[in-house]
Chains A and B, each alone.
Chain A
Amino acid sequence: EVQLVESGGGLVQPGGSLRLSCAASEFTFSSYSMNWVRQAPGKGLEWVSYISSGGSAIYYADSVKGRFTISRDNAKNSLYLQMNSLRDEDTAVYYCARRNSNYNFDYWGQGTLVTVSS
């Protein structure tokens, strides 16, 4: 069964940094593009970032552009999100999600909570 497991969330002060990881298993990670999606408490889903299977194409939501960096290590079957200059409004559960050949997000991790607060 495909598994995506996020880690790295926690409490951080405004202006601080955090690095999220997503460990993938039971599928050929290097063949799939990946995404980060977040959900603020009690709010809807917000797409954050996309990275192609080989890492050559990367896109960000305007709300995180210039502050967040997505990357991947196909040898380690891992996806990352480096988050800098964190703001209160970045508080959310962060999900990694696999994008399949139909361009849909067919598998999601369980999410990791990031809380930005002083």
Chain B
Amino acid sequence: DIQMTQSPSTLSASVGDRVTITCRASQSISSWLAWYQQKPGKAPKLLIYKASSLESGVPSRFSGSGSGTEFTLTISSLQPDDFATYYCQQYNSYSGTFGHGTKVEVK
């Protein structure tokens, strides 16, 4: 099975900061990677698909990059609504494995 490793597990940041989250796959998944945002008590929300494509309605301050085994999610200027937990997910296989998540908290 493909394993997904996210880092860091927690990130402390301030409004306006540039934030980068990394996700590594245990084997190549080409560009079959998505990023989700989840707030407490809510379902996850799709942000990025195919590693770098922005889901409709998602602010342009979110961007994704990478291919193969290394991927990043970048928030160019952190906004108050962005404090949440972020998950990467591979869908190279039907298992759809998620990373363990990165919590972005107020510094």
Q: Which of A's residues lie within 8 Å of B, judged by CB?
A: 35, 37, 44-47, 50, 57, 59, 61-62, 95, 102-106, 108-111
Contact = CB atoms under 8 A, between A and B. Distances in A.
23 contacts: A37-B98, A44-B87, A44-B98, A44-B99, A45-B87, A45-B98, A46-B98, A47-B95, A47-B98, A50-B94, A57-B94, A62-B1, A102-B53, A103-B32, A104-B46, A104-B91, A105-B36, A105-B44, A106-B46, A106-B55, A108-B43, A108-B44, A110-B43
A105 B1 contact: no
B49 interface: yes
Q: Nearest 7 A-B pairs (CB), nearest first?
A: A108-B43, A47-B96, A45-B98, A59-B94, A104-B49, A44-B101, A103-B91
Nearest to B9: A44
Given A50-B96, A61-B95, A104-B89, 11 more contacts: A37-B96, A37-B98, A44-B100, A45-B89, A47-B97, A95-B43, A103-B32, A103-B49, A104-B46, A104-B55, A108-B43
B43 A111 contact: yes
A107 B103 CA distance: 22
Nearest to A59: B94
Chain B interface, DSSP helix/strand/loop, else mixed: loop
A111 B46 CA distance: 16
Contacts of A59: 94-95
Q: Which of A57, A59, A62, A105 has the most CB of B within 10 A?
A: A105
Interface of B: 1, 32, 34, 36, 38, 43-46, 49-50, 53, 55, 87, 89, 91, 94-101
Contact of A105 (B32, B34, B50): B34
A104 B98 contact: no
A61 B55 CA distance: 27
Contacts of A95: 43-44
